[in-house]
Structure 1
Amino acid sequence: MSREMWHRPRDAIRQGRDATLAQVVEAIDRTAPETKARLAAEVGISEQYLSELLQELKRDDVVRKAYVVDDAAVYANADAVSPLHAGRRVGGATADGERSERATDSTTDPGDRAQTVLDLLARLDDVTATQYAAARQSFVGEEPDRPAGALESLANERYSAVLSELKSYTLTTDWPGNRVAADLATIATNLEIVGDRACFVADVVDSQAVATSGVVEERVCDIFEAGETINGHLRSILFECDLAAHDDLIVQEETVHRDLDELFELVTAYDQEMYGYLVTVTRALERAIYYWVHAAEIAVHLHSGVQPDHVLI
C-alpha cells in the first residue's frame, strides 16, 4: 500500500521507504514467503534493499526470523508501516462545530485528497452515529431532537460525497491506491448501513409501540451502549491509528453477545408479541454493530497490513 497516497508530503526519500516497509510487511503476512528472493520478487525490490529493510523491521520486532509477522509488534509500530498515518487533522471544526468539507480537483496533492476522504468519512460517521443514538432514544420513549429517519437524506448525501471523492481518487491513483480506495468505500458503505438499521429500529419502535421496562429494557439499552462504545473504538482505529483499541473493541463485542444471550433467556417467559418485538429490534442492532466491527477490521488492515481475527457477530 502506498504511503505516498496517505501522507502529507514530508521527505520524499523517507516517504518512499515507509511505503516499501508497508509493502514488505503486507507481503510477508499475505504470502508467507520461504526465501528472501521470493519476498524480494513479491515486493519488486532488490534482495540487497530488502535485507536493509528487514534489518529495520527485525530491530523493531515487527518481523521475526523465517519472515513471520508479529501482529502485536506491528500494531505497536503501526505509525512506521501505516498507509493511513494518525498524524493528520480529521474533520477540521468550523466555528459552528460542523466539520468542514473541502473540494478537490485533479491538481490536488495526494495527501490533501487523502485528508479530504477521511474528513468525509468522519462526517458520514457523525450523522449515522447520531441516527443510532436517536433510535436508542426512541426505544426508551424519549423524543430525539432529530429522529433517525429525518437524518436519512443527510446520511445519503454524505455517503454519496465519500463515494464521489473515492471515485476521483481511484481514477487518478495507480495500484495499490485503488485497492485502498475500495476498502475505504466498504467502510463508507458499512457506516451507511448502520444508519439504515437505526432508521429501521426507530420505525419498528414507532409502529409496534410495545412497552418494555425493568431488566429487559436495561439489557437492550446495554446493547445500544455497547454499540456506541464500539463505534468509538472504530473512530480511534480509523482516524487516530490507535490499533490497541481493537483489543478493547473485541472485549466489547463479547459483552454484546453476553447481553444478547441474557436478554433472550429473560424474554422467553414473555408473550409472543414482546418476543417478536425484541427479536426484531435486537437483530437490527446486532447487524448495525457488525458493520461497525467489520469497518474497524478493515481499518486495522489498512493501517498495519495485518488482517485481524474475523468478527464474532
Structure 2
Amino acid sequence: MSRQPWQRPLASTQQGRDATRAQVVEAIDRTAPETKGELAETVGISKQYLSELLQELKSEDIVRKGYVVNDAAVYTETPGISRLHGEEIGEEAADRGPAVLALLERLEAVTTSQYEAARTAFEGGEPEQSADTLESLANERYSAVISELKSYTLTTDWPGNRVAADLATIATNLEIVGDRACFIADVVAERPAPGAGVITDRLEEIFAAGDRINDLFSAVLFDADTSAYPELRSEEATVHRDLDELFELVTAYDMDLFGYLVTVTRALERAIYYWADAAELAVQLQTGVGPDHALTW
C-alpha cells in the first residue's frame, strides 16, 4: 500500500548547513531523484555544494549509492517519537512515543471489538455491540492519534515526521480493519447465516487466525516483542494457503451463496493484510531496520 508522509516546509527548525542537509535527505526520501542535477534543483543548491553534502551523508551511511535513504539511519537518528517506549535521549525523556502508543492501543481495542462483533454475527450470535455501533468510537480514537501525530510533525524536522507518518499508517491500517469488520457485519445482516458445513468451519478458522495475528501485531507494537513477528508471518502464510483452498471450495455452491461467501472472505483477507502490514512497520519502528534485517540479529 502507498505510504505518503505529510508534506510540510523542509527543515523549518534547523539553520544553515544542518537545514540544507535535512532538505537533501528529505528530498531524496520524497522524490527519489534520478540524477544529481534533479536533486540539486529540487533542493535549490548548486551541484558542487550538493556533492559536498552527499559525501558527508554517505560517509555517515545516511544516504547510499543511487540516492537511496538508509532507513536504519532514519530511525536511529530520529529523536523522541522513534524511541517508542520512552528511553532517555541525551537529557530529554522521549515522552511522545508512549503517548502515541497509548492512543494507538485505545484504537486497537475498539477495532478488535469490531472484528469480534463481525465474527460473532457471522457465527449467528448477537454481539453486545455491533461493529457499526462501535464505528463512531473507532473514528474518534483514530482522530485522536492523527491529531497527536500532526502536532508532532509541526514541530519536528525530517526524519521525525517520517517516523510519525509510519505511525499514522499503522493507525490508518487499524481503522481500515474496523471498516472491514463493519462491511462483514452488514453483509451478514442481509441474509441468514449459511448452514453449518465445511465452508463455514473453514471461515471460522480464518477468523480465529485473524485474532492470533492481531495479538502478535500488538505484541510487536505495544510490548516491543519483535520475536512475535516470525510467528505472525507463519500464521499469515497459513491463512493465505487456507484462503486459496477456500476459494476453490466455494465454487461448488450456487451463485447467491457463492457471492456471499466470497464477499465475506475477501473482507476478512483485507483485515488480516492490514494487521500484517502494520506489524511490519512496527518492527521497523522498534528496531530501526526492516523485518528482514531485524530477524537476523
Same fold by TM (over 0.5)? yes
Letter in 2 for 1:241: A
Pairs within 5 Å for 1:88-167: 111-167=94-150
Taking structure 1 as reference, are residues 37 and 175 closer, same or farther at Cα in structure 2, changes over 3 Å only? closer
- 8 Å contact from structure 2 (residues 85, 97) kept in 1: no
Question: Runs of 5+ in structure 2 lacking a partner?
Answer: 1-54, 64-69, 73-80, 293-297
| Pick aligned residue for 1:286 from 259, 264, 269 | 269
What are the Cα deviations for residues 146-167 of structure 1, in whole angstroms up to 9, with x where unaligned? Answer: 0000000000000000000101
How high is the sequence identity, in percent, across the aligned residues?
Answer: 61
Please give the alpha-carbon distance, in whole angstroms, between the structure 1 residues aligned to 2:62 and 2:169. Answer: 25
CA shift for structure 1 position 112 = 2.2
Alignment of 1:156-235 (within 5 A): 156-235=139-218
The secondary structure found in structure 2 opposite 1:258 is helix
172 and 87 in structure 1: CA distance in 2 versus 1, 3 angstrom threshold: closer
CA RMSD of aligned residues (A): 2.4
CA deviation digits over 1:53-80, x for unaligned, max 9?
xxxxxxxxxxxxxxxx9x9xxxxxxxxx
Q: What TM-score, normalized to structure 1?
A: 0.65
Task: Give 1:245's aligned residue.
Answer: 228
* Corresponding residue SS for 2:190: helix
The question of whether the paired residues in 1 share the 8 Å contact of 2:104 and 2:145 is answered with yes
CA–CA distance in structure 2, aligned partners of residues 202 and 152 of structure 1:
12
1:153–1:244 distance in 2 versus 1, CA, 3 Å: same
Check the 8 A contact 2:120/2:127 in 1, yes or no.
yes
For 1:164-186, what per-residue CA distance to the aligned partner results, in whole angstroms no more than 9, with x for missing partners? 01011111223211111010000
1 CA distance for matches of 2:117 and 2:256? 24
SS at match of 1:295: helix
SS at match of 1:198: helix
In 2, the alpha carbon distance for the partners of 1:201 and 1:161 equals: 25
Q: Structure 1: which 4+ aligned runs deviate by more than 4 Å?
A: 36-39, 85-88
Deviation at 1:113, TM superposition (A): 2.3
Q: Aligned partners of 1:229, 1:159: CA distance in 2, in Å? A: 22
Which residue does 1:262 correspond to in 2?
A: 245
Letter in 1 for 2:232: L
